[in-house]
Chains A and B, each alone.
Chain A
Amino acid sequence: MTSHGPLKWQFGTLAEVVQETPRVSSLHLDVPDWQGHLAGQHVDVRLTADDGYQAERSYSIASAPDDPRLALTVERLDDGEVSPYLVGELRVGDRLELRGPIGGFFVWRGDVDTPLLVIGGGSGVVPLMAMLRHRANIKSTVPARLLFSSRTQADIIYRDELSRLGAAGDGLTVFHTLTRERPAGWTGYTRRVDETMLKEVAWPKQDSPAVFICGPTPFVEAASQLLVGMGYEPRSIKTERFGATGGTA
């Protein structure tokens, strides 16, 4: 666990914006006082209006620990307060107040041989991408599988980069599923994650992979329960959930 004392608010400067999909962009920040992080951790971002009003939100770190810039990948939520500012208003050269890294549990250090199974729904892929980028940086050949659920082909965040990582021949396989589209020539799955899909993608329980699942709550709930049903040890499954649930209880 990276432990650097109190997490002070600090500034990053936006150096580059990379549009990943129509609603998702990555912000590449120069953060001079950044103390380092582990793949899977997140930052708190704080915006201040000119009358002193402030809003804070958390965003997973997309960049790997050894990457030169801190990257946040943000999905613009139409009814959001902070995301429409980050994706749409914030410009190269602007400063952004943040603190971190936060969270010592949902992290992958890459220092053990356990196979890695990461399952992401939409922007839930962000902390998992930090893990896969870290895995590539440290030239790990630990067997790894990503199951990534997106709405449509155009919504697949990091699509090209994932193709390259998956073709590197270092033991990573990337599986995609689309829930709202069936494009011509598509070779991936075209439905919500279910038991049949997981049995094809996930290792048998005896292989005891480390599992990280991230995305909207219903997605995480479904995927985690399916793995438990397949005999996976619940404690081997780490989950991170975000976004609206829609429910009242």
Chain B
Amino acid sequence: MGFVSRGFRGKRRDNVSSSRVPPGQYVVADFPVLSAGPTPHVNIDQWTFSIEGEIDEPKRWTWKELSALPADTVTTDIHCVTKWSKLDTTWKGVSVDTLMEGVDTAADFTTVYSDGGYTTNLTLDDVTGNKAWVVYEFDGQPIEPQHGGPLRFFVPHLYFWKSAKWVRGIRLQKEEHPGFWESNGYHIRGDPWREQRYWGD
């Protein structure tokens, strides 16, 4: 028998199937905000979203153009590396597959970058094939600034630090470049089901 914390009972949330909660996580009903710095101010009139880097012709959309693209509504669970999970969250936005339509690239990696300087790295495989979106609505409402509005990246199969808030673009790259948290002790990939929280996990 392994270590047991003397006297610890824990709170079992029996109405939640444990198969939905990755190791080390607990379910919350509210929506915590975490960020490394102040919420950036965004001027929507000058705002653009880009796909650039290893691409013949960079692609760019204004807010109006992005909003006019075909959108998906996705309901899924999200998992933050700080241990909270939120189940059945609903988001609306444009699939990265839609944004990448017609794009030919030799890149295997991406850096997703945001207003305020935040970056996160993802393999091209992790953001294509119906796995990633750029989202502008949460629960039927425009995403609040502190939750990453007007647009955040959304890649729910990985820890939520990869779902970059205030996203402005995707840079396609031949090499992997660790992003902000990945350079500050956090795992390069961040799969919650393998509990890949920190370097070396």
A7 to B144, CA, bound (A): 34
Contacts of A11 in B (CB 8 A): 3
Q: Which of A201-249 contact B (CB under 8 A)?
A: 217, 221, 224-225, 227-228, 234-235, 237-239, 241-249
Contacts of B53 in A (CB 8 A): none
Contacts of B67 in A (CB 8 A): none
Q: List 20 A-B contacts (CB under 8 A).
A: A5-B200, A6-B198, A48-B2, A54-B10, A54-B24, A55-B10, A89-B7, A94-B6, A96-B5, A102-B185, A225-B39, A234-B40, A235-B116, A239-B37, A241-B32, A242-B32, A244-B30, A245-B31, A249-B139, A249-B143
B129 within 8 A of A: no
Say yes or no: A225-B38 contact (C-beta < 8 A), given A53-B10, A244-B30. Answer: yes
Please tell me if the beta carbons of A6 and B200 are within 8 angstroms of each other in the complex: yes
Please tell me if the beta carbons of B198 and A7 are within 8 angstroms of each other in the complex: yes
Say yes or no: A58-B83 contact (C-beta < 8 A), given A104-B183, A247-B30. Answer: yes
Which of A58, A96, A237, A239 counts the most chain B CB atoms within 10 A?
Answer: A239
Contacts of A245 in B (CB 8 A): 30-33
A192 within 8 A of B: no
- Write the A56-89 contact mask toward B (1 if CB under 8 angstroms, else 0): 1110000000000000000000000100010001
A50 within 8 A of B: yes
Chain B, interface size category, equals 35 or more
Please tell me if the beta carbons of A7 and B200 are within 8 angstroms of each other in the complex: yes
B152 vs chain A, min Cβ distance (A): 12
Residues of A within 8 A of B (CB): 1, 3, 5-7, 11, 44, 46-50, 53-58, 81, 85, 89-91, 94-97, 102-106, 217, 221, 224-225, 227-228, 234-235, 237-239, 241-249
| CB closest chain-A residue, reference B5 | A47
Say yes or no: A49-B4 contact (C-beta < 8 A), given A106-B36, A249-B139. Answer: yes
Please tell me if the beta carbons of B5 and A224 are within 8 angstroms of each other in the complex: no
A242 to B10, CA, bound (A): 21
| CB closest chain-A residue, reference B29 | A248
Main secondary structure of the interface of B (DSSP, over half): loop
A50 to B146, CA, bound (A): 40
A-B CB contacts (within 8 Å), total count? 134
A159 vs chain B, min Cβ distance (A): 28
A97 touches which of B3, B31, B199 (Cβ 8 Å): B3
B145 vs chain A, min Cβ distance (A): 9
Please tell me if the beta carbons of A48 and B83 are within 8 angstroms of each other in the complex: no
A104 to B9, CA, bound (A): 33
A145 to B12, CA, bound (A): 43
Contacts of B7 in A (CB 8 A): 85, 89-90
Contacts of B139 in A (CB 8 A): 248-249
B130 within 8 A of A: no
Please tell me if the beta carbons of A249 and B31 are within 8 angstroms of each other in the complex: yes
| CB closest chain-A residue, reference B143 | A249
Q: Which of B1-56 contact A (CB under 8 A)?
A: 2-12, 23-24, 26, 28, 30-41
